[in-house]
Chains A and B, each alone.
Chain A
Amino acid sequence: MFCRQQVAGLAARLPEIARRGGTLVVVGPAKPEHIASFRQATGFAGAVFVDPSLRTFRTAGLAHGWAETFDPRAMLKGVQALAQGFRQGPRQGDVAQQGGAFVLGPGNRVRYEWRDRFAGDSADLDAAVTALPPATSP
């Protein structure tokens, strides 16, 4: 549910990301066979990859644990997401793994970093997009 909400927010910003010369890459803590059903559920056509080893999540310093998943703030966010029409589908992957968002490059440069503190917590996607280089002339 939160995942679908986050992907919808990212997909809506794809044109602006492209205008600024950037790309969008989504990584999930699931298995390769889960990607097709994820695309079907979200309608997301962008770049989607998985990391069942969670190595990238750990290296990025992202939280992992049940306390974060069942944080009271996660419950409130869940109610809000339901009200916006997002539904929880069958969960695939590590449900205790929290997410995050980074704007990187060109080269090994970090322009923006965000680590979710609990389930349903989310990066300020407008701030993330603004961290990309300004759009070049049309």
Chain B
Amino acid sequence: MSPSRAAILVRIEPGYNAGMDDLLAAALAQLTVLDEKSQAVRLGDFWATRPVVLAFVRHFG
């Protein structure tokens, strides 16, 4: 097999992407969402001290 056609095997260990994941959580944490009274609420406050299941739903309907 020519070098150009050789398979590239990458072994991904658990936690491999942890650094990127933390960046994702940090980026989301900075953003705000709105409550029923149009008050802005900082997302990161929900998981600062306890875990959260954050569900993004499709349209309301």
- Chain A interface residues toward B at CB < 8 A: 1-4, 6-7, 10, 13, 17, 20-30, 32-38, 41, 47-52, 55-57, 59-62, 88-95, 97-111, 113, 116, 119, 123, 128-129, 132-133
A104 touches B34 (CB 8 A): no
Tell me whether B53 is interfacial, beta carbon within 8 Å.
yes
- Taking a contact as CB atoms under 8 Å apart, the answer to whether B22 and A49 are in contact is no
B contacts, CB < 8 Å to A: 18, 21-22, 24-29, 31, 33-38, 41, 43-44, 46-61
Of the candidates B18, B55, B60, the one whose C-beta lies within 8 Å of that of A25 is B55
C-alpha gap A100/B61 in the complex (Å): 16
A116→B56 CA distance, assembly (Å): 10
Contact of A99 among B21, B46, B49, B57 (CB under 8 A): B57
- Closest chain A residue to B23 by CB distance? A108
Instruction: State in angstroms the CA–CA spacing of A13 and B56 once bound together.
Output: 16
CB atoms of B47 and A3 under 8 A apart: no
Instruction: Give the residue among B21, B31, B41, B57 with the most A Cβ atoms within 10 A.
Output: B57
Contact of A49 with B27 at beta-carbon distance under 8 Å, contacts A3-B60, A107-B47 already known: no
Contact B57 A28 (CB under 8 A): yes
Interface of B is mostly: mixed
Contact between chains at B25 and A60 (CB < 8 Å): no
Q: List the A side residues contacting B26 at CB < 8 Å.
A: 108
Bound complex: CA A37 to CA B28 (Å): 26
13 pairs from A and B in contact (CB 8 Å cutoff): A17-B53, A22-B52, A23-B53, A25-B43, A35-B36, A56-B43, A59-B31, A93-B61, A101-B53, A102-B53, A106-B48, A107-B48, A113-B21
Cβ-defined partner of A89 (8 Å) among B18, B22, B61: B61
Nearest Cβ in chain A — how far from B54, in angstroms? 5
- In the bound complex, do residue B60 and residue A22 qualify as a contact, i.e. CB atoms below 8 Å apart? no
By a CB distance below 8 angstroms, the chain B residues around A99 are: 55-58
List the B side residues contacting A107 at CB < 8 Å. Answer: 25, 47-48
